[in-house]
Structure 1
Amino acid sequence: MSRLIVISNRVSAPKGQSGGSQGGLAVALAAALREYRGIWFGWSGGMTDHFTGHIDLQRHEGVTTATIDLEGQDVDEYYNGYANKTLWPLFHYRIDLAEYDRSFGSGYERVNERFAETVAPLIEPDDLVWVHDYHLIPLGQQLRQRGLKNRIGFFLHTPWPPARLLTALPFHQRLVRSMLAYDLIGFQTEEWLLSFRHYIEEELGGTVDPDGTVRVGDRTLRAAAFPIGVDYKDFADTAASQEAAEACATLQDSAELKKVIIGVDRLDYSKGIEERFNGYRRFLEENDNWRGNVTLLQIAPPSRGEVHAYEAIRERLDELSGRINGEFAHVDWVPIRYVNQGYGRAALAGFYRAADVALVTPLRDGMNLVAKEYVASQNPDDPGVLILSRFAGAAHQLREAIIINPYSKDELSDAIRSALEMPREERIRRWNALIESVKRDDVVAWRRDFVAALEGVKVAA
């Protein structure tokens, strides 16, 4: 079997069940590489005064990692700049927050070139190469220019915006044309795939066949949807651990028989936390019988502090949570517990299990694995209720959740009341349907389907 070479912006060595707070991508890729020989290559997160291309090779829990350090200018222009100030807001439909700067684009191209120069010697002729996410869109083209003839796939974890938004990006055709160097392009949902197909047809004059074959000029490749999942077995084991049980007991004891609503999100404007707080406030205004009997625990570890938009959302959330608590709190009750720190997977699994309701209400999200983790953590005999944004990719699969429009505080208020008052029989019925989806469409299926498709495509000439 061919080796699998995974390339992503950041590389996170596996930390075990009780380790640090790893994102969905890190957990999913570590699970993939445990079953395939190969290497996970990317940025270490560290900086160096002068880029040398030195590779730090390590092996953790069956996963081989190869990391490089970047210069400070690289981080400013490539990561904080083009990736997080330009592409991230644009891909999440926030064109009002997207910043366009010539230096950002130059840094983005430079770092992709450095990735290609450094990783190319590690790739053997029969290896499958799997590139991940918006940070590395041009990497396939850079590898082709260095003579690689391997099968190269690309998977986008974020949404793909409609053509009318993407065309606001300077040199958007140059960026999308670089993707034609891949043999297979994967998206989270059919919605994002359709947006990509529309751009190919309208802006590049290409064609897309019903089977996903994309033709632009003399290039032929395939595009398809591959919805990502959680490692269900591993997460279920984590949820059954002693640490998870202790975290569950801690939250239940601190709630003092009150109902618990939980939200777990990276601190980001795309996650809809501000709208969530406003919806919860409307719920408290309209349902005075629930005041003092329910608590919202919002866990939101900070991220990307160098980007002004993230500083602004943190300030607004600090102010908003303070106002809500000041308006409704009693001596023995605080409506919102707003926590700006991360927790390990075992602790989160325990918190999920203790929560009667989960609010997963992003304004736009490629998939959202928190929704699936919450479902996987529940007690089958007394499960909680998932409230899910219709604008999360997970809503296409988790249809038995309460699906809501996160922009409507009235709709969110009604959903919270319905979830808290939902009879046990209905909660069990909904959960049984949700857990079947989580088990079926897990990370193993995602990996299997994408790699099988990549093995089957015709290699680029």
Structure 2
Amino acid sequence: MRPWGGKGEGVSLVAYANRLPVSRGRHGWRASAGGLVSALRPALESRGGAWVGWDGGAGDVPRRVEGFDVELVPVALSRREVEDYYHGFANRTLWPLLHGLIEQPVFERRWWTAYRDVNERFAAVEVGSDGLRWVHDYHLMLVPSLLRRAGAGPIGFFLHVPFPPPEVYARLPWREQVLDGLLGADTVSFHTETYRDNFVRTCARLRDDVRIEGRTIALAHRRVLTAAHPISIDARTLAEDARSAATERSLRGLRAQFGGRRILLGVDRLDYTKGIIERLRAIELLLEGRPELRGRIAFVQIAVPSRGEIREYREVRRNVEELVGRINGRFTDPGGDVPVHYLYRGIPPERLLAYYRLADVCLVTPLADGMNLVAKEFVTAQAACGGSGALVLSEFTGAAVELGDALPCNPFDVVGL
């Protein structure tokens, strides 16, 4: 994942993302875990970079955090702005739209106004006039054009979620404004060629003032490069951690807990795009049709809490938990262990790596996903210790383009899954 086509070594770098990459724990502030932080950290630290992001309402975020050599530039948002910009337009309008209408987007003009205002706030942050600007994801799709108007540059934009076909994107009432925002960048990047192609075709369909020249969108007075740069993980560090003493201890405990049963594993944010309900229905059908497997397999679903303030996410949690209860009620023998182990929480890194190593099968079955780093983490952890676990991977993930040895699946086909 690179901000644009050129190298840019030795030039300062400013990243813009919805949230700052730090969190406060019992022992003070520290760098957050997560794919975006892992991906951007090397580039930012090597260039004396800065990160512009929402402060999460903390109000006292330090400019620097020990062990994380990046300047933090906080943006304060009111409770109403968070509700309308983040929970509203970003996650109830753009998120379902960009994921291909798995849920119906909600179009509220008040949310759009807040989204526009917050993007203006991000773009107006003082971070100096020099250096490269690297804007990230669907929360900040207007920022590139706002930075350009302010004279900043060069500017890169990276979308971490899918970009839909033009006939889907065209439903957005503010489609021209969002496209204008993105075309303010010098380079607009995506995880896959499919997403990049969807964006180019959308520009060609909705804009009369552009020419498509291969991978370049020619505007009246300048050109915008489009690119596909799939995000990845720090495979070397993850492999080392998978072999660590802490992971080994956790793995011994899990093996003792599950005995000789075969383990199927799912690891996701609790989100309606992740296909958790379809996955659980497939497990139910398997236990129903293959009674000899009852008591011989266990399915572990780690569901990290996410966006609980949003109605659709509360509903998916309720549906998932009702389905888990139904499966366990149907297929648990008296005195026996349940077939589905549902963990509604985040877990420590060494525990997650132990689950990756324990699993005989990892089910990565989103209905739509920009990339999905769980798939890459699983195969890396397995390979680090000579494991032979299988990866079942949805064809609707960006990772499916790269991981050709995975077992492909259509998660909408529950029987086939």
Match of 1:292 in 2: 295
Q: CA deviation at 1:209?
A: 1.9
What one-letter code is carried by the residue in structure 2 that aligns with 1:295? A
Give distance in 2, aligned partners of 1:388 and 1:240.
Answer: 24
Call closer, same or farther: CA 1:55–1:62 in 2, change over 3 Å. closer
Call closer, same or farther: CA 1:21–1:324 in 2, change over 3 Å. farther
Match of 1:84 in 2: 91
- Once structures 1 and 2 are overlaid, which stretch shifts more, 390-399 or 61-70? 61-70
Q: CA deviation at 1:200?
A: 1.1
Call closer, same or farther: CA 1:95–1:374 in 2, change over 3 Å. closer
| Alignment of 1:113 onto 2:116 | no
TM-score if structure 1 supplies the norm length? 0.83
Instruction: Determine which structure has greater relative contact order: mean sequence separation of CA pairs < 8 Å that are 6+ residues apart, divided by chain length.
Output: 1
Give distance in 2, aligned partners of 1:14 and 1:55.
Answer: 9
User: Which structure 1 segments of 5+ residues have no match?
Assistant: 49-53, 413-461
Call closer, same or farther: CA 1:15–1:259 in 2, change over 3 Å. farther
Give distance in 2, aligned partners of 1:329 and 1:249.
Answer: 25
Give distance in 2, aligned partners of 1:382 and 1:241.
Answer: 15
What one-letter code is carried by the residue in structure 2 that aligns with 1:390? E
Helix, strand or coil at the partner of 1:391: coil
Residue in structure 2 matching 1:388, options 393, 397, 411: 393
Match of 2:221 in 1: 218
The aligned runs of 1:141-180 (5 Å cut-off) are 141-148=145-152, 150-180=153-183
Helix, strand or coil at the partner of 2:391: strand
Contact 1:47–1:71 (Cα < 8 Å) also in 2: no
Give distance in 1, aligned partners of 2:394 and 2:156.
Answer: 29
Give distance in 2, aligned partners of 1:376 and 1:281.
Answer: 29
Match of 2:109 in 1: 102
Q: CA RMSD in A?
A: 1.9
Helix, strand or coil at the partner of 1:410: coil
Call closer, same or farther: CA 1:96–1:386 in 2, change over 3 Å. closer
Residue in structure 1 matching 2:255, options 252, 256, 259: 252
- Cα-to-partner distance string for 1:301-327 (whole Å, 9 max, x where unaligned): 111111100000000001001001101
Give distance in 2, aligned partners of 1:224 and 1:333.
Answer: 49
Name the % identity.
38
Contact 2:22–2:32 (Cα < 8 Å) also in 1: no
What one-letter code is carried by the residue in structure 1 that aligns with 2:224? L
Give distance in 1, aligned partners of 2:365 and 2:174.
Answer: 32
Q: CA deviation at 1:294?
A: 0.7
Call closer, same or farther: CA 1:67–1:10 in 2, change over 3 Å. same
Match of 2:41 in 1: 30
Call closer, same or farther: CA 1:229–1:58 in 2, change over 3 Å. same
Match of 1:448 in 2: none
Contact 2:16–2:52 (Cα < 8 Å) also in 1: yes
Helix, strand or coil at the partner of 2:168: helix
The aligned runs of 1:398-413 (5 Å cut-off) are 398-412=403-417
The aligned runs of 1:260-299 (5 Å cut-off) are 260-299=263-302
Give distance in 2, aligned partners of 1:311 and 1:361.
Answer: 20
Q: CA deviation at 1:117?
A: 1.4
Number of corresponding residues = 400
- Cα-to-partner distance string for 1:426-456 (whole Å, 9 max, x where unaligned): xxxxxxxxxxxxxxxxxxxxxxxxxxxxxxx
| Alignment of 1:339 onto 2:330 | no
Match of 2:16 in 1: 7
| Alignment of 1:233 onto 2:232 | no
Q: CA deviation at 1:20?
A: 9.0
The aligned runs of 1:301-380 (5 Å cut-off) are 301-330=304-333, 331-379=335-383, 380=385
- Cα-to-partner distance string for 1:150-207 (whole Å, 9 max, x where unaligned): 2110000000011111111112011111211100000000110111111111111322
- Once structures 1 and 2 are overlaid, which stretch shifts more, 191-200 or 20-29? 20-29
Call closer, same or farther: CA 1:381–1:233 in 2, change over 3 Å. closer
TM-score if structure 2 supplies the norm length? 0.92
Call closer, same or farther: CA 1:14–1:236 in 2, change over 3 Å. farther
| Alignment of 1:207 onto 2:216 | no
Give distance in 2, aligned partners of 1:403 and 1:141.
Answer: 39
- Cα-to-partner distance string for 1:45-83 (whole Å, 9 max, x where unaligned): 1166xxxxx974113323322223211111011111110
Call closer, same or farther: CA 1:88–1:60 in 2, change over 3 Å. farther
Contact 1:180–1:219 (Cα < 8 Å) also in 2: no
What one-letter code is carried by the residue in structure 1 that aligns with 2:236? K
Give distance in 1, aligned partners of 2:409 and 2:173.
Answer: 34
Give distance in 2, aligned partners of 1:106 and 1:407.
Answer: 35
Contact 2:22–2:31 (Cα < 8 Å) also in 1: no
What one-letter code is carried by the residue in structure 1 that aligns with 2:396? F
What one-letter code is carried by the residue in structure 2 that aligns with 1:161? P
Give distance in 1, aligned partners of 2:304 and 2:221.
Answer: 46
Match of 2:63 in 1: 57
